[in-house]
């Protein structure tokens, strides 16, 4: 991917809106990377039953972003448009909403197949947009993003 240059928060937010349209909520255990035999995934599915729409309220985003390792690719395609919008708008330097997906991407560099699967659906346009979000997180919040951007490179290969 080619560096896109400095982008303002507003420009990145617009890019996210264009590249990541809201997706319908996955049905049942399609949300998770395990079935009902996994107690954490069972609880996750039960907890998220109250949310039915493509747009997820902040409390749902907060819950899901703390459970990224248990979310499937379909679950991530539902969460990521919501999560990225909230992260771009976040001005609290210490909010975990801006760094959890950065750490999650780093698992790809460690060979974590479930992390690779969570992001395997991203198109080239979405990967470029995601890199711009990472750059903004670095500039605005001071997050170290080199490993996360390397992971995006692996996904684009």
For residue 146, the enclosing domain spans 9-156
Sign of CA dihedral 74, 129, 150, 65: negative
Q: Read off the pLDDT of residues 71-81 as tens digits, 9 standing for 90 and up.
A: 999 999 999 99
Would residue 40 count as lying in a domain?
yes
* Confidence category of residue 46, pLDDT binned at 50, 70, 90: very high
**150 has pLDDT over 80:** yes
Residues with Cβ < 8 Å from 69, sequence gap 6 or more?
104, 107, 114, 115
pTM of the model: 0.91
Q: Please check whether residue 109 lies inside any domain of the structure.
A: yes
Please check whether residue 3 lies inside any domain of the structure.
no
Please report whether residue 69 resides in a domain.
Answer: yes
67 within some domain: yes
The SS3 of residue 71 is strand
Instruction: Please tell me the distance from the alpha carbon of residue 18 to that of residue 20, in angstroms, as a whole number.
Output: 6
Number of domains making up the chain: 1
Domain assignment present for 1: no
Q: Give residues with Cβ within 8 angstroms of 139, minimum separation 6.
A: 6
Domain membership of residue 126 (yes or no) is yes
96-139 pLDDT, tens digit each: 888 888 999 999 989 889 999 999 999 999 999 999 999 999 98
Domain-embedded: residue 89: yes
């Amino acid at each position: 991917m080619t560096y896109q240059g400095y982008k303002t928060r507003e420009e990145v937010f617009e890019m996210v809106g264009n590249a990541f349209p809201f997706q319908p909520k996955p049905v049942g255990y399609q949300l998770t990377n395990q079935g009902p035999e996994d107690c954490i995934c069972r609880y996750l599915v039960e907890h998220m039953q109250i949310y039915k729409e493509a747009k997820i309220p902040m409390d749902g985003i907060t819950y899901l972003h703390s459970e990224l390792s248990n979310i499937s690719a379909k679950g991530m395609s539902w969460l990521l448009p919501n999560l990225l919008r909230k992260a771009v708008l976040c001005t609290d330097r210490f909010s975990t909403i801006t760094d959890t997906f950065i750490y999650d991407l780093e698992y790809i560099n460690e060979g974590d197949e479930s992390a690779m699967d969570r992001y395997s659906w991203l198109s080239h346009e979405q990967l470029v947009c995601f890199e711009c979000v990472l750059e903004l997180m670095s500039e605005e919040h001071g997050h170290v993003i080199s490993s996360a951007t390397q992971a995006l490179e692996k996904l684009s290969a």
